[in-house]
Structure 1
């Protein structure tokens, strides 16, 4: 992948491979800000938290904080020791540019929360699908169930998208309606 390093890296059409994911001090990874595999410029941040490293004849201070700045978008990610603190880790692709703002906010929240709680992420993804369907089909009857709303737009979306909407609806419902432990198979 070294041919893709540096400014001007091309967008990657495939999801990042495990070795393309962000990690402390990596020369290049998929930027959590712009979603492009790019070279990262690392620098130590002078934050008051750190550790004293013993060097013969003197003391040396090493910060626990670093910044990686993407060569493609110039936006930083902030790290404390080996954990990325900002932006928050997220699951899923970047939202499409045409996604309505109210839907994008739910999508961003779901993808961020899913990194911590898959159950909460699934519930928010379901809410995002419901909001999207209401935007796409404003004439749907008031109080219509989400599965009915999805069926109403199936002819206007691709088959894979229709199936994906149904999967998100189903999983979101499953996560929201927790069964009693003794009833789980």
Structure 2
């Protein structure tokens, strides 16, 4: 999921309010000493999101309200209980990458519950999922989040406040995990369920015959 950050006079980007990629309507700002002497004030712009209807305010081509969030929004299939932590991590990222990473560690812990883990111990859950056949790239993404998240809670070799790009990468990793473990299986299952019932029954019969042979 590519992220398009808010950009001055751009016709579409991810809204800083709702986080959805949507078309944007730009409004001119007029100023003057009286209504008879109004003219376009080039310093100011107002932008309205077509999805949520909320306004963003710009000064000299820079977004000033709401404050710009420089990291990607959550994957649309991220479970709601995880999404709360993700959004909070986004909102404080600029002020404290370390605190943001700590929240994302909690987000990953909750996400593991949705992936078949206990949601109690990240390391143990990853080990259990690997034993069940978790793809290596997903394992590496989870362990990346685990190690960086642990450094945010118990500072070690990585100073996250000095390396905000490291904390920012956690958002991408979480979205990758959701895409691979939740979105793609759901998409395939939805397409497969549209096959004729007799075709699906034949496939099931074929596979049950193969396993018993």
Give the TM-score range, shorter chain. 0.5 to 0.7
> Equivalents in 2 of 1:94, 1:116: separation in Å?
19
* Match among 155, 158, 174 for residue 178 of structure 1: 155
Verify: 1:148 aligned to 2:124, yes or no.
Answer: yes
> Equivalents in 2 of 1:63, 1:116: separation in Å?
30
Structure 2: which 5+ runs fail to align? 158-213
**Once the 2 structures are TM-superposed, how far is the Cα of residue 166 of structure 1 from its aligned partner?**
0.8
Helix, strand or coil at the partner of 1:109: helix
Residue aligning to 1:112: 91
> Equivalents in 1 of 2:95, 2:148: separation in Å?
17
Verify: 1:89 aligned to 2:69, yes or no.
Answer: yes
Verify: 1:31 aligned to 2:14, yes or no.
Answer: yes
* Match among 145, 160, 165 for residue 137 of structure 2: 160
* Match among 48, 57, 79 for residue 100 of structure 1: 79
Q: 1:115 to 1:95 in 2, by over 3 A?
A: farther
**Once the 2 structures are TM-superposed, how far is the Cα of residue 159 of structure 1 from its aligned partner?**
2.7
Q: TM-score, normalised by structure 2?
A: 0.55
> Equivalents in 2 of 1:179, 1:139: separation in Å?
26
Helix, strand or coil at the partner of 1:41: strand
1:18-55 deviations in whole A, cap 9, x for unaligned?
A: xx53133x13242223543x542112579xxxxx7689
Comparing both structures, which one devotes a greater share of its residues to strand? 1
Q: 1:58 to 1:84 in 2, by over 3 A?
A: closer
Residue aligning to 2:102: 123
**Once the 2 structures are TM-superposed, how far is the Cα of residue 61 of structure 1 from its aligned partner?**
9.4
Structure 1: which 5+ runs fail to align? 1-12, 47-51, 181-185
Aligned length: 151
Residue aligning to 1:8: none
> Equivalents in 1 of 2:48, 2:133: separation in Å?
41
Rg larger in 1 or in 2?
2
Residue aligning to 2:25: 41
> Equivalents in 2 of 1:118, 1:130: separation in Å?
18
Query: RMSD value over aligned CA atoms?
Result: 3.7
Verify: 1:67 aligned to 2:46, yes or no.
Answer: yes
**Once the 2 structures are TM-superposed, how far is the Cα of residue 100 of structure 1 from its aligned partner?**
2.3
Q: TM-score, normalised by structure 1?
A: 0.61
Structure 2 contact 5–70 (Cα < 8 Å) conserved: no
